[in-house]
Structure 1
Amino acid sequence: MSQTITGDVNEAGETGQSVAAAIRAALLESDPHAKVMATRRVARDWRLGRLAHVFDVAMPDEPGRPETPELLPPNRMPKRGKAGSERGRIALWHAIAHIEFVAIDLALDMAGRFGAGMDRQFVDDFLSVAADEAIHFALLDRHLRKSGSHYGALPAHNGLWDAASETRHDVAARLAVVPMVLEARGLDVTPATIERARAVGDPAGARILERILDDEIRHVRFGANHFAATAERLGKEPVNLWKTLVSRHFRGTVKPPFNDSARSAAGLPLGLYAGVA
C-alpha cells in the first residue's frame, strides 16, 4: 500500500514534515515503483528545503518489501544457468536489480537512522545516493521488462539488509561495511559485467552498468569521507578502525581482485584494504 507524504507548506517553503518522517515513509513503502517515486521525492524535497531538519521518528527495523521476489538464504539461491543463455542473462539482471532495490533502503536508512548525530552534509549525501539507487533500479527493472521478465520474477537473498541490521547501532560500522565493503565490491565486479553485456550484444545493459559504476564511485567516496571524519571525531586512526569494524561486523571476506583505480577514485587507498583478504 502506498504511503503518501503530505504536509502543509509554511512561509519558508517547508512542508512542516520532518526529514526523518519522510524517510521513514519511503522506507516502509513496499511497492517498488512507489518506493522509487517516494525516494526521489524525499531527496528533491530535502534539497529544496521543504523538509524540516528534524529527526523525530525512529527508522523501522525492516523496510517495506513487495510480495515478490521470494527472499531466500544465500545458500538456497538457485543457480543462474549457463553464462550467455537467456535464462542466465535474465537471472543476472534480476540479481543486479535486487541489489539496487535494497540499496535504496540502505541509503535511506543511513540518512534517517544516523542523520541526527551527523552534519547536514551527511544527510545531503545519502539522500542523493538514495535517489541515484532509485534511478538505477528503475532502469534495471525496465531493462528486465524489455527482456520479457520483471523484478520479482525470480527469488533473491537478503544478505545486503543483514549488513544493515548488524550495524544499526553504530554509524562508523555502517559506513565501514556498506559503502566501503559492499558498494566497493561493486567497483571491482562491474567492469567485467559490462564487458559480458557487450559480448552478448546488450549495449543498453552495458550503458546502464556504466552509469551505475560512475555513480557508485561517488557513493563509496561519500562513505569513505564520512568514515574518515567519524574516525577523527572518535580520535581513532581510520585504517585500524576500519579493519576492526569490518572484522567485527562483516560476515563475508574482503578479497581480490580489486579495481584499484576505481577504489582510489572513490577514496579507498590500497593501504586500506591490503592485507585484509
Structure 2
Amino acid sequence: MPTPCSRRRARSEVNLSDLALSVLSDGEAAGKAARSREAAKLWRDSGGAMEIGRASPPDRPARPARPLLLPPAEMPRRRGQSDEARATLLHAVQHIELNAIDLAWDMVARFTDHELPREFYDDWVRVGEEEATHFTLLSQRLADLGFSYGDFPAHDGLWEAALATRHDLAARLAVVPMVLEARGLDVTPAMITRFGRMGDEKSVNVLKTILSDEIGHVAIGSRWFHYFCTKNDLSPRENWQRLVRKHFQGLLKPPFNDDAREVAGLPNDYYLPLSGAPAAKSTKKRKF
C-alpha cells in the first residue's frame, strides 16, 4: 500500500505543464471544465513542490464537434424572453467561458521559457479554475431551461486572437484579458439587467458571479502586462496601445464600464484613444 510520502512523490512527478496539456487536450466540454478544476487543485495541493515544466501546447485545443462555429457577422440575433431565447444568450456566454478555460491553461503552458515568477502561474491556474466554474454554472442553468452546450451556434473570435498572439506574451496579455475579456465587463451588466426584467433571478446570480470574477481576471492580465513592461523598461500605456493596434482589428467598441475597468487596472486613458473617443483624465490612483 503506498505511503503518504510515496504518494507525494508520485504527485510531484507530474508538472504544471503536463496538467495544462491535459486540459487543452480534453475534447469533451464538461470534461475539460472538470479537468481544469482538478488540475488547479493538484497544483495548490502540491504546496509549491510541483515543477512548472516545459510544454509545446497545440495551436488549437481539443474541442467537441458541436457547437457549429460561424463568423461573428453570421451569428443569429438573441431576442425575446422564451426559454430558448434566454438559453441562446447564456450559451453565447458559456462558449466564451469554454474558450477562457483553454486560454488560461494555454497561458500557463505556452510561456514557460520567460523566467516568470511562480505567482504568474498561480494567477492563471486560478483563472482556469474560475472559468471552469463559470462554464459549469451555465451548464446547470441551461439544463434548467432544457438545453445544453452545443445546441446553438457560436463563433471562434477568442481563439483567433490567441493564435495571433501565440508567440508574444505581451501581445497575448494586451489583447486577450485587457481587450477581449474586458469587453465582458462592459456587456455583462446589461445582460444582468435584461434577465432581471424577465424575473430570471437564477441567471442573474450566475452572471453576477461571472462579472465579479472577470474583474479579477482582467486585473491579473493588467498586472502581468505591467510587470512585463517594467521588466523591459517600456511605457505600459504606449506599449499596450501599440500592441492592440497591431493585433486587434478595428476600434474598441463603447460603451465602456469605466468603473469596473478602473478597478481592474485598466484606466480610460489606455482604451479611449483606441475607440475614437477623447480620453478623460483618470482621477484614481492605480495599483499594479
With normalisation by structure 1, the TM-score equals 0.92
Contact preservation (8 Å) 1:111, 1:126: yes
Deviates more, 1:52-61 or 1:173-182: 52-61
Q: Say if 1:106 and 1:9 are closer, same or farther in 2 by CA, change over 3 A.
A: farther
Report whether the alignment pairs 1:235 with 2:233. yes
- Per-residue CA deviation, residues 235-262 of structure 1 (Å, 9 max, x unaligned), is 1100000000000011243121111111
State which of 11, 16, 20 in structure 2 corresponds to 1:14.
11
State which of 19, 22, 25 in structure 2 corresponds to 1:25.
22
What aligned pairs does 1:95-244 form with structure 2 within 5 A after superposition?
95-117=92-114, 118-244=116-242
With normalisation by structure 2, the TM-score equals 0.89
Contact preservation (8 Å) 2:170, 2:228: yes
Unaligned residue ranges in structure 1 (runs of 5+): 1-7
Contact preservation (8 Å) 1:13, 1:49: no
The whole-number CA distance in structure 2 between the counterparts of 1:86 and 1:41 is 32
Contact preservation (8 Å) 1:260, 1:270: yes
- Per-residue CA deviation, residues 46-102 of structure 1 (Å, 9 max, x unaligned), is 11227732332211111110111111222222233x333443222101111101111
Please name the residue that 2:271 is paired with.
273
Please name the residue that 2:53 is paired with.
55
Please name the residue that 1:34 is paired with.
31
The whole-number CA distance in structure 1 between the counterparts of 2:33 and 2:274 is 36
- Per-residue CA deviation, residues 143-194 of structure 1 (Å, 9 max, x unaligned), is 0110011110011111111010000000100000011001111111111110
Please name the residue that 2:67 is paired with.
69
Please name the residue that 1:91 is paired with.
88
The whole-number CA distance in structure 2 between the counterparts of 1:194 and 1:103 is 20
Letter in 2 for 1:223: G
Unaligned residue ranges in structure 2 (runs of 5+): 276-288
The whole-number CA distance in structure 2 between the counterparts of 1:9 and 1:59 is 29
The whole-number CA distance in structure 2 between the counterparts of 1:119 and 1:200 is 46
Aligned residue pair count = 269
For residue 41 of structure 1, report the CA deviation from its aligned partner.
1.1
The whole-number CA distance in structure 2 between the counterparts of 1:276 and 1:48 is 43
Letter in 2 for 1:74: P
Q: Say if 1:113 and 1:9 are closer, same or farther in 2 by CA, change over 3 A.
A: farther
The whole-number CA distance in structure 1 between the counterparts of 2:69 and 2:51 is 35
| SS, match of residue 157 in structure 1 | coil
- Per-residue CA deviation, residues 171-226 of structure 1 (Å, 9 max, x unaligned), is 10000001100111111111111010110110000000100011011111100000
